[in-house]
Amino acid sequence: MSIPTAVFLDTSILDGQQYNFESTALSTFVPVCKERGLKLLLPEPTEKEIERHIRQRSSDALAALADARRKAPFLAKWPGLPPASAKSESVERLQVYGIARREWHAFLKQFNVVKLGYEGLDVKKVMLWYETTTAPFREGKKRKEFPDAFSIAMLEAYAAKEKLHVAVVSADPDLKAACQRFNSLLHFQSLPRLTELLLSEDARVEKMRSAIDAQIEVLLEAIAEAMQGVSYYHEDESVEVYDVDFGEITTVEPSIVAIGDNECTISFYTALTPRVTLRFYHETEHGSEPGEITERDDVELEGTAKMSFDDQGKVAAVTLVSFNETEVRLRVSPWRRW
């Protein structure tokens, strides 16, 4: 097995963590990455894209705060809400962006960062990919995905020059397809998957992984119970989520991201299709009337769990379950029957 000695984090990974650099996925990866001595590769197009996303999220956060003050003026009585500022909107945006940017740079300082510029980019190679619709290019809106193509070309060139393997961590299927064309680029769907691989030389990881697989129902039950504390809302504010029935959870993808004395922390992912009951008003020839509909919706959940083991190495308990999001948005349309 080729263990990568350099890593690239796609923008999709940081977007998925909401740029929370203290999240379990990111905070558990850092010490393992340091211990392994992995280099963090940062192509210039990716760096600029990250900066742009941070700037946009800063602007969106201020807009959401202003909207909350407008829709719920009673929040002014809440001591935890920052008072409205007399500063201009552009100044506030710069200040919030500055805070987010400092967090990003503080995260980078924990690594041996190698920045990849355009100097070694083979433009002819990238244009050939474009002309032949080769991944990461494809038909449709991804037809002109040059930033991803530039980044892949830079990573592949660096890997060839340094004679090493690069872990490309990305939730983008087109980047995954691009990695499949190069022996030096190893794709990981999520950061916990890479963290688990880097921990794999510790014999305890394999034993814990085997115990979890053998007693997966213990984890499934703990996740199902914790899901009762998650709230659900519809993307249309006029629609009320009356009930969500997940039924029995049958599949979950756990990855061990940290280990301790007879305990470990895992990151997990599960995709579900719950039955959701929605209440709403719809227009009829007699005016606005209440309606109710029960439909299936697609829901993806990611989270973290802490598991303990007995002296025989079997799962003793799931001591903690938390989800990356405490509010889940539903999208199924309640209007299609009318």
For the chain, the first-to-last Cα distance in angstroms comes to 56
Q: How is residue 118 annotated by DSSP?
A: S
Phi, psi angles (nearest 5°) of residue 51: -60, -40
> Residue 108 and residue 14: Cα distance in Å, rounded?
13
Question: Encoding tokens for residue 274?
Answer: 């719950």
> Residue 176 and residue 88: Cα distance in Å, rounded?
43
**Helix spans in 37-110 (H):** 44-71, 89-108
Phi, psi angles (nearest 5°) of residue 41: -90, 130
Q: How is residue 83 annotated by DSSP?
A: P
Residues 274/244, Cβ–Cβ less than 8 Å: yes
Q: Provide the residue-wise pLDDT of the chain in tens; the chain has 338 residues.
A: 457 889 999 999 999 999 999 999 999 999 999 999 999 999 999 999 999 999 998 888 888 877 877 888 877 777 776 666 656 667 777 788 888 899 999 999 999 999 999 987 888 988 888 888 888 887 765 545 888 999 999 999 999 899 888 999 999 988 988 888 887 888 988 999 899 888 887 778 889 999 999 999 999 999 999 988 888 888 888 888 888 888 888 889 999 988 877 888 899 998 888 888 988 887 777 777 788 888 888 888 899 998 999 989 999 999 889 898 888 888 888 766 55
Can you name the residues that pair with 102 across neighbouring β-strands?
Answer: none
Q: What is the fold of 6-196?
A: Rossmann fold (3.40.50)
- Which overall architecture, per CATH, does domain 203-330 show? Roll (3.10)
Question: Encoding tokens for residue 137?
Answer: 């290019």
- The sheet that has 315-323: what strands, in order across it? 253-260, 263-272, 299-309, 315-323
Closest CA to 103 of 14, 191, 33, 24: 14
> What pLDDT was estimated at residue 66?
79
Element (H, E) at 179: helix 173-179
Closest CA to 5 of 136, 170, 184: 184
Q: What DSSP string describes 288-304?
A: EEEEEEEEE--EEEEEE
The residue ranges of every structural domain in the chain are: 6-196, 203-330
Give the 3-state secondary structure of residue 21.
coil
> Residue 69 and residue 82: Cα distance in Å, rounded?
10
